[in-house]
Chains A and B, each alone.
Chain A
Amino acid sequence: MSNDARTEHDPFVALQDSPEFADLRSRFRRFVFPMTGLFLAWYFLYVLLSVYASDFMSTKVFGNINVGLLLGLGQFVSTFVITILYVRWADREFDPRAAALATTIGDDHR
């Protein structure tokens, strides 16, 4: 059941069905989904360690700096690194392809 009576000549449907668009979508998802899984797993590992392995996290590494503090700072580092990687990937790999596909529709259909 559809609540929109557009025909199959819809330019958006046509583009969505094209192999070029499928390629763009899968490139995007192949980058962002694993990356999301990775940082969420690393974050929750850190949270669980802090909660259930506080002895391990309290282990002193040098001076008063313990494992917990280092892993916490590691969360900052990983966040910065993922940001840099994603922005570089999106600027170089994704934007040119997305822009090329956007022009194939031509005028603004709205």
Chain B
Amino acid sequence: MSAPTIAALVPAATNVGSPALNITIFGVFVLITLGIVIRASKNNRSAADFYAGGRAFTGRQNGIAIAGDYLSAASFLGIAGAIALNGYDGFLYSIGFLVAWLVALLLVAELLRNAGKYTMADVLSFRLRQRPVRMAAAISTLAVCFFYLLAQMAGAGGLVALLLGIDKKSGQSLVIAVVGVIMIAYVLIGGMKGTTWVQIIKAVLLIIGAAVMFVWVLSKFGLNLSHLLGEAVTESGGKKVLDPGLQYGKSGLTKLDFISLSLALVLGTAGLPHVLMRFYTVPSSKEARKSVEWAIWLIGIFYLFTLVLGYGAAALVGPKAIAAAPGKANSAAPLLAYELGGELLLGLISAVAFATILAVVAGLTITASASLAHDIYNSVIKEGTASAEEEVKVARITAVVIGILAIFGGILANGQNIAFLVALAFAIAASANLPTILYSLFWKRFNTRGALWSIYGGLITALTLIVFSPVVSGKAPVAPLKTSASMITDPTVDFHWFPLDNPGIVSIPLAFILGWLGTVTSKEYNAAKYAEMEVRSLTGHGAEKATSH
């Protein structure tokens, strides 16, 4: 089938694939994973079980789960779509997402595993004053998780539009709610153990699915990448999709915006709380290292697949058909699947994409609820006196609350570009979390004031700049639409004064400077706790062990 036929089908979205088949395949996935989650939950008694899966996963299992956690809907749907429409500039996203893992591998993963217990705040507050630092770390954890959740839920909405032929917002909202409820069930029943297994299964399915499409696309072009790229250019009407600059090269401002984005991507990963929490699910720092090694290989290979999938979608489906589809850029990969393997492959790939959203959302929810229960409820409110049972109970309740908030947020964010929303989460993580993580692991003199200034300063700056950026208001309408391309689609509303979409280039350096300034203006320093933290983080002495049943 050639591109024009698909273009003809697209206006009636219901005709792309069979909604019944898509729902059936997805339903089978949910049933199988729920079964596994229930099995995995049999030993979910202690806090270490609920938050950290008993620390009993191997490095390889955790590495696959990390890939499952990280290769979100933004990676699969967003990047493939960005490459299909913007060519090379979409590819740049995936490079930032991958290279960022070296920060986690070299500087953060092992030291964090050795020094912490359940959450990012465990490490940040180790040698500083517990309550204020935990509070700050928990707040920034929640902020990052919230943006990331929004991105995933928005992706669910877009996907539904395409796959189930549900054009009405109310119908899409209902499906977002269903996704949210299933995710809450995973987290409540399975805790970290169940969530991890969902992520492992999903990662395997996603990578196999992408590999099949990768080989299929290449074989259509005689295994000749150059030939595929040439076709992509032709189908794009001669647009320079192979050269950098299509999306970000328009003006000096967009170039600066891209540098800001690159900074946020490469420094954000090692500050993502849901990624950091995964390092506690393995028994030792050596296994944490092995986790990152596996994750880097899987994620890298997956992004190489998406490069071919993106250009393949441009060459075989055509950018016009993709842009006209209900899910816009996000529908490039599913449309390509339909073009290659018809209804069945589309059904399989869409089920995998749904599973992706489900697994990532579950990981985010457990991270946010652990932070609320362990850091805010137990450490700040109860001053560490809550029992493990009480803490886990609070975590379960907050998981439900967060799930409900995610459903409403997802309904509101429905239709936003997902790769882009994720980039904002990365910017917040790189500004609010990473400076304090690095300072507390490597800078002897670092203290409480430095941490608070850096976390709150980075967080508030990043959030403020986002609110007053063109992301929220004031973007010019893109023809043929009359609505603004910003979150607030009314073109008459414009209160932006920060010129860039991504705040990273301002907020990240500022957070580093504030951390330094706060530290040198305060005399507090805890030599004994620093000695304990440094010795434990480097030698692994006294690191939390796996629980045995």
Contacts and interface: CB of A to CB of B under 8 A. Distances in A.
B102 interface: yes
B242 A80 contact: no
A58 B243 contact: yes
Interface string A32-66: 10011001100110111011101001100011111
B172 interface: no
A51 B259 contact: yes
B92 interface: yes
B209 interface: no
A68 B296 contact: no
Interface string B263-285: 00010000000000000000000
B496 interface: no
Interface in B419-448: 442
Residue of A44, A50, A108 with most partner-chain B CB within 10 A: A50
The prevalent SS among residues of A at the interface is: helix
A2 B525 contact: yes
A93 interface: no
B494 interface: no
Interface residues of A, number: 59
B509 interface: no
Given A4-B529, A52-B255, A58-B240, A86 B105 contact: yes
Contacts of A36: 102-103, 106-107
Nearest to A100: B539
Nearest to A16: B531
B101 interface: yes
A44 B262 contact: yes
Nearest to A57: B244
Residue of B244, B249, B528 with most partner-chain A CB within 10 A: B244
B491 interface: no
Residue of A4, A25, A47, A98 with most partner-chain B CB within 10 A: A47
A1 B539 CA distance: 27
B170 interface: no
A34 B74 CA distance: 32
B229 A64 contact: yes
B528 A68 contact: no
A50 B245 CA distance: 7
A20 B541 CA distance: 15
A8 B103 CA distance: 35
B535 A79 contact: no
Interface of A: 1-4, 6, 10, 12-13, 15-16, 21, 24-25, 28-29, 32, 35-36, 39-40, 43-44, 46-48, 50-52, 54, 57-58, 62-66, 68-69, 72-73, 75-76, 79-80, 82-83, 86-87, 90-91, 95, 98-99, 101-102, 105, 108-110
6 contacts: A12-B528, A52-B255, A64-B229, A79-B101, A105-B535, A108-B542
